[in-house]
Structure 1
């Protein structure tokens, strides 16, 4: 889906958020990133001084692109998180099983790449996520703990329903949306990642883009350079363990007492 089509869909449906098309936290929604992020209810990136980043791949598995990506990740001792489409997992379970066996993380990305809106979330969420969990469990023998809504759409129903199922909502760093789904060119994908690389980034890519090899080609340059700069590619769950702890706020009254004031 092209950017203008995605934006038009969001405006038509009155979605809770449109992270992929704009940094605006929400279109008409009462709660945005400034509400959810401090609470840890949605994760866009991780505040850390450690040189770790998370590569994430949406919309797979794909019988051609996923194996090529897995081969490259192996080559550079990199781990990644794959947000899979349930109906594709049902078609290619061995690819998901292989990715999991190699130490990569599997996340839920709905069964049909469904775009949620304020009007359809409650009706579709449970069905889409449950069917995907069934296909993931059948492939790897365990459930996922991460959920990424297609298009980055979110609202309170998605957040609350995800947490009720024991799943964390994961989006991506706004400066690390490669838009590889639009086939922007290999160099643009490379430059998007490397020119904006920071500790704690969650990088958005895709391992299923119809008729495109740009993502795989870009990774051939991205992975060695990330390694050369001293960064490690880890799963999203591992990245979250590197979250910098917030400093406790000092009580000025207690400080005054200790100072004898």
Structure 2
């Protein structure tokens, strides 16, 4: 049984109004990629984005940055925006506040960016308040592709995405192994679809 929403709803966006959920931009969407860098999947994503001459935002895990610094640098060199996704993919609901903050700051030492997306979208109010006070912008999403869900076929992942896609969306993909089959299928189709619609794809 699916335990997530493809689209964030109005209640979520209003209740956590200090977070970034979507933009008001017309004829544009914002692509984001979580959990990288990965030595095979991230270059695949970068090549596709280069083909379409678009920029995206990569929310990187600090441990992966430390493991694959050349891949991480290639994201920066291509002109994409970087965000922090904790050092070890911590779930804020299951992690003591002090440990969670230390994990974010450990990633910050490598990444530097004050854009932050909490893994699983789960962060306690106290954790969020601390990060916002420190100058972070907490970025959520309006459209989750579900590419991480191994119960979804690649075709279903794409269908769920394209039927829900709206202007101004912040869209989540994952440059990770568990998402690979669905990402490989859905991302090229999304890029082609946006070009056909004459929608810009922008970083945050």
> Same-fold call, TM > 0.5?
yes
Q: Which has the higher contact order (CA 8 A, sep 6+)?
A: 2
Q: Structure 2 stretches of 5 or more lacking a match? A: none
**Aligned: 1:218 with 2:186:** yes
Q: Which residue of 2 aligns with 1:14?
A: none
Q: Calculate the TM-score normalised by the size of structure 2.
A: 0.90
- Residues 122, 197 of structure 1: alpha-carbon distance in 2 compared, 3 angstrom cutoff: same
Once superposed, what is the RMSD of the aligned Cα atoms?
A: 2.3
CA–CA distance in 1 between the matches of 2:7 and 2:201?
Answer: 25
CA distance in 1, matches of 2:179, 2:50: 24
Alignment of 1:4-15 (within 5 A): none
Q: Does 1:181 align with 2:156?
A: no
Partner of 1:12: none
Task: Tell me how far 1:65 sits from its aligned partner.
Answer: 0.5
> 1:166-199 CA distances to partner (integer Å, 9 max, x unpaired)?
11001110xx211111131222222222222211
Q: Would you say how many aligned residue pairs link Structure 1 and Structure 2?
A: 203
Match of 2:83 in 1: 107
Q: 2:200 aligns with which of 209, 216, 232?
A: 232
User: Residue 125 of structure 1 aligns with which residue?
Assistant: 100
Cα drift, residue 153 of structure 1: 1.0
- Paired residue for 1:75? 51
TM-score, reference length from structure 1 = 0.71
Rg larger for: 1
Structure 2 Cα separation of the partners of residues 197 and 87 of structure 1: 32
Residue number in structure 2 paired with 1:172: 141
What is the distance in 2 between the residues matched to 1:20 and 1:125? 26
